[in-house]
Structure 1
Amino acid sequence: MTDPVWDPTQYLRFADERTRPLRDLLARVPALPHPGEETILDIGCGPGNSTAVLRERWPHARLTGVDNSAPMLATARTEGEPTADYLLADARDHDPAPARPDLIVSNATLQWLNPDGPEQGRAGGHLDLVQRWAAAVNPGGAVAFQVPGNFDAPSHALLADLRRSPRWRGRLGEDAVRPGVHPPERYLDALAAAGCLPDVWETTYLTALPGPDPVLEWVKGTALRPVLTRLADPADRAAFLAEYGRLLREAYPAGPAGTVFPFRRIFAVGIRQ
């Protein structure tokens, strides 16, 4: 499975909208052990917009962002949260236990990892990863993550259909789209099995996006990254984006408030007992 090449500038075009679910997630995280000197890991920190929100909530914490994209980390160090430490590592391989964290946060990362495993020689899927994170945090600490729950939405269904169409399937292959997520109850069960008190819920944000082709611009920062990584030829990229953009305009017509993009998210907080 090919890891996508990330574009921090494109991702941050909708920084406020992408960060809002994280703020709602953190609102359910209670007081942590070691107040005033908490140890917090932001796994899948991207360009540091999530790390900056963590710094707002815990201004004196020892804060470390972990990501497998060097361009994303470069942006995080300069524009995200410069006072944090950053580590180039894959979430699937990083062992958080030596840090003895009070909180592990993951903002829109797990959907890029295989839900069930194995993947690329790794033993388990991302439920195993959630349980490993839960085992690493201090008693009274927490694991908190949120993921998209809109893989059946037109934005994703149209992309999958187009990828499999006769024109594109030979160039893109089956692994150009990532596996997705579990139903919310699976995360609740996984956190409970790991010795956590679980708090799991879901929300659909009706996000009004401005400008021309805003849904296309949105997915260019996330869901389209594996496809754009595969389509190295500029002419192929332009042709694919033109075709996909037309489908998205039909699925998400502009209205008086802009283009409304339903944005379903799944949230989970586990308090280590």
Structure 2
Amino acid sequence: MADWSAQQYLKFEDERTRPARDLLAQIPLATARRVFDLGCGPGNSTELLVARYPDAEITGIDSSPDMLRQARTRLPQCRFIEADLTHWSAPADADILYSNATFQWLPDHLGVMLRLLNGLKAGGVLAIQVPDNLDEPSHVWMREVAHEQPFVRLLPKNPRDRAVLPSVGEYYDALKPHCARLDIWHTLYQHALDGAEAIVEWVKGTGLRPFLDPLPPAERDAFLRAYTARIAAAYPARYDGKVLLRFPRLFIVASR
């Protein structure tokens, strides 16, 4: 895929940062020396870590040059590194490995989580939030439109933005033997947005990218028109003209 767009992502900064706040609130460490924001994006989640742990050395990790440019501008006092989390390893003295809405993009992300968790010192924390919304209309209609003509000829077979998450039980069974404390929970957000077009703008920054990026410009525009029509039908306007984007997310906090 093409590089991520920090500008597109930040169109919904308040909504995207809310689960980051909720995840951070459940980390049980009052103080920390070294904190890593894995998949830091444009720095909105990193900024929360700076406020929570003002005396810590905080480092953001991301694979997107555009996201890192935005993060460095936003937080010049922090260190930011371009790296692929599939292969990146934390230093032995890391206190917190924190990640907001990133691990769902990694192949075998549970294996990556286990590797990072086992590398933490006693008392260290791995805290992760991932979207769990592949069965929501916003994502179902991506796949449905992709199977229509002419898009089915132009897109990879069975395109989807990411793999289905393991079950909560699978996460628990894999992670619990390696940590002293494990908290797993779901939160269901209801984001009030300005119509169906706003939902499309939201997912253009994330989930729609694997569907749009391979298409030529004319077909990309046609895909967006077809997708927007279905989103408008799936998310009816409320009394004030807003639509409610239902958005389930999975949270995991594992303490060594």
> Does 2:133 match 1:150?
yes
1:6 deviation in Å? 0.9
Identity of aligned residues (%): 42
**Structure 1 residue runs of 4 or more that deviate by more than 4 Å after TM superposition:** none
Q: Distance in 2 between matches of 1:253 and 1:77?
A: 39
Q: How many residues align?
A: 254
1:261 deviation in Å? 0.5
> Does 2:178 match 1:184?
no
> Does 2:47 match 1:64?
no
> Does 2:75 match 1:92?
no
Q: How does 1:14-33 map to 2 (within 5 A)?
A: 14-31=12-29
Return 263-272 or 194-203, whichever deviates more: 194-203
Secondary structure of 2:213's match?
Answer: helix
Gap change, CA 1:242 and 1:112, over 3 Å in 2: same
Q: How does 1:102-121 map to 2 (within 5 A)?
A: 102-114=95-107
Kindly indicate whether the alpha-carbon contact (under 8 Å) linking 2:196 and 2:232 is maintained by their aligned counterparts in 1.
Answer: no
1:250 deviation in Å? 0.7
Q: Distance in 2 between matches of 1:100 and 1:20?
A: 28
Kindly indicate whether the alpha-carbon contact (under 8 Å) linking 1:150 and 1:264 is maintained by their aligned counterparts in 2.
Answer: yes
Kindly indicate whether the alpha-carbon contact (under 8 Å) linking 1:22 and 1:146 is maintained by their aligned counterparts in 2.
Answer: yes
Q: Distance in 1 between matches of 2:59 and 2:164?
A: 26
Q: Distance in 2 between matches of 1:194 and 1:164?
A: 42
Partner residue, 1:159:
142
Partner residue, 2:70:
75
Kindly indicate whether the alpha-carbon contact (under 8 Å) linking 1:147 and 1:266 is maintained by their aligned counterparts in 2.
Answer: yes
Kindly indicate whether the alpha-carbon contact (under 8 Å) linking 2:17 and 2:45 is maintained by their aligned counterparts in 1.
Answer: yes
1:4 deviation in Å? 4.5
Return 8-17 or 190-199, whichever deviates more: 190-199
Unpaired stretches in structure 1, ≥5 consecutive residues: 115-124
Structure 1 length-normalised TM: 0.88
Structure 2 length-normalised TM: 0.94
Unpaired stretches in structure 2, ≥5 consecutive residues: none
1:130 deviation in Å? 0.7
Return 138-147 or 190-199, whichever deviates more: 190-199
Deviations 1:175-194, CA, capped at 9 Å, x for gaps: 45321322223222222122
Deviations 1:132-171, CA, capped at 9 Å, x for gaps: 1111222111000001111101111110111122321221
> Does 2:4 match 1:11?
no
Partner residue, 1:203:
187
Deviations 1:80-133, CA, capped at 9 Å, x for gaps: x2221111111101111x35210001110111123xxxxxxxxxx111111111
Secondary structure of 1:202's match?
Answer: strand
Partner residue, 1:259:
243
Gap change, CA 1:131 and 1:196, over 3 Å in 2: farther
Q: 1:40 aligns with which of 28, 35, 40?
A: 35
